[in-house]
Structure 1
Amino acid sequence: MYNSPSIAPPPPYAATSTYRAYNRSQANKKGISLLPLHLVHRILSLTLDQRSTPSKFWSDPEEERVRRIWALFRGLRGVNRVFWLVATSILRGLYLESYLSHIRPNYSSDPFPYESSHLDDPALGNADIDTTSTSVYEGRGRETAIFDRYIAVRVGQELRQVESSLSEEGEAIGDIFGRLQPTARIEDLLLSLPSTYIVSATSSPSPPPQGLPLPQSHMSVTLTPTWAQVYLHSQPVSSTRRGSKELVIEVRRIGTLEGTLKRIEDGLDDIQRRLAPWGGRVL
């Protein structure tokens, strides 16, 4: 109640014609995904800020920090497509420095090899456009997928550590940087080779033919201490469908990943000039 005579009470609420027209146009557009991306990013970021969103249920700041990250990783990302992409972006920012600190000496890394971003998709936040048929993983670089796996491992490890001092880390981190990251980095670097050897993808729904150029989307690399094998798959590597694969070339590794990539390029050149057989080994 307003006690001061100089302050008039607010007028009674009545929906104006402009509001009614706006409300009708938005009748089928409901949901938090309609918020602008910067607001969704701000909301999710505040869930990690203990000062902005204090909690009375936790007294240990470190435990609360870890549990909030777990809630963002395991819970909030599943709200909708927009939340998934924004939450993943926040998590990548939190763990990027830690990820890069594990890269082995003389190895290179680029967790974001492609310039495009799903957050630039104009369809995000538009209820008239169905984006559910497009995977949030589509177009993701091979090393980006390894980075996301590292985040999943770290978040799980941190949660177990705050729950029990007897928790052990296991060998997942060592496996990521000893085997998966170097392999994924070379697979991304394949796109830097001339288009006479490698192209980004194939538009044909059938398995790619045996021959050059090879679609990078159907290629994988396997590393041993001495050798690097390049395989061609009948299905895209990112696909959930299983398919066959065949060896394209096997080359001797050189110390750096870029050096090994150069040996792969030389091997493909030998195949093109018929100096090496398909599926052969180049010393």
Structure 2
Amino acid sequence: MKKVSFAEFGGPDVLQLVDAEEPHAGPGQVRIAVRAAGVNAHDWRVREGQFQGSHPIELPAGVGLDASGVVDEVGEGVEGVEVGDHVFGEGSSTYAEFAVLSAWARMPAGLTFEEAAGYASVVETALRIIRQVGVQSGQTLLVSGASGGVGSAVLQIARDRGITVIGTAGAANQDYLRSLGAVATTYGEGWVERVRQLGDVDAALDLAGSGVIRELVELTGDPQKVISIADLGAPELGVRFSGVAGSVPEALAEAVDLISRGKLHIPVEKSYTLAEAAAAHIDSHAGHTRGRRVVVV
């Protein structure tokens, strides 16, 4: 099978499309014929070796966590899913023709493979950081870097829970944020004052890692009311960095519920082939995404 792999840490150019042995479903797993794989910031952070200190991996290594596809192997002890089912979820080395998933759910009606590929990690992350920051119905949440996949999920989940969201993004994405129910404003010079004019902030999330931790603490008045998923230096300022996933099966179940109720939709901004994985990482690293990027197999 074809698979995207890297044999050394580095820039996007280390990614190679190689011939590899097919993986097989172990106990508690399913294998899918991959139709699409989600592109996450986590993917290029792993490729750069950013997590070697905390979660070392052996090289050569595959790329990708999220995927959608058709079940073609069911591991020992797995119930409730059959060969031929259309599923989406999280596994490993998903930029490939076949991948093993450790958490999955059946795709809701009306969802394409390309759309479904982008949900697992971003919804789990969104649910986790909303919980960790402690924001409640009736309060206001500030989201810095709100237009990407995680931001898109946060805005819609928060709206469903009765939380007011102020979102920052580039000028081109202001209408997009408003379409998801957020009060939108641009980042850049003067953004803190623009946020203040929109109202008091009870909690804040840093999704872009653009060096705004001090300002988020200033706006909330308490570093414990700020969570970052993108700035590894956040703990130096007393802010929690959230990088350890919670229950992916629970997140997938909530995603299915939200999607089925018409409360969550994350658009696909751009699709890439396996051979274009390096370009997908370059674009993901650059940011300014509206929704999700996916690799289509």
TM-score range, shorter chain: under 0.3
Structure with the larger strand share: 2
Structure with the larger helix share: 1
TM-score using structure 1 length: 0.25
TM-score using structure 2 length: 0.24
Structure possessing the higher radius of gyration over alpha carbons? 1
